[in-house]
Amino acid sequence: MSVKYMLSARPPFSPDWRKTYHGSLSAALGVAWRKYNREWSVDSISHEQRVVINSEGLMQAFNRMDDLKRETPARPLSEMSEQVIQGMDWVRADEVA
Per-residue pLDDT of 17-46, as tens digits, reads 888 888 888 898 888 888 776 666 667 788
For 33, left (φ over 0), alpha (ψ -120 to 50), or beta? alpha
What predicted TM-score, i.e. pTM, was given to this entire model?
A: 0.72
Mean pLDDT of 62-80: 91
Q: What distance lies between CA 71 and its chain's CA centroid? A: 19
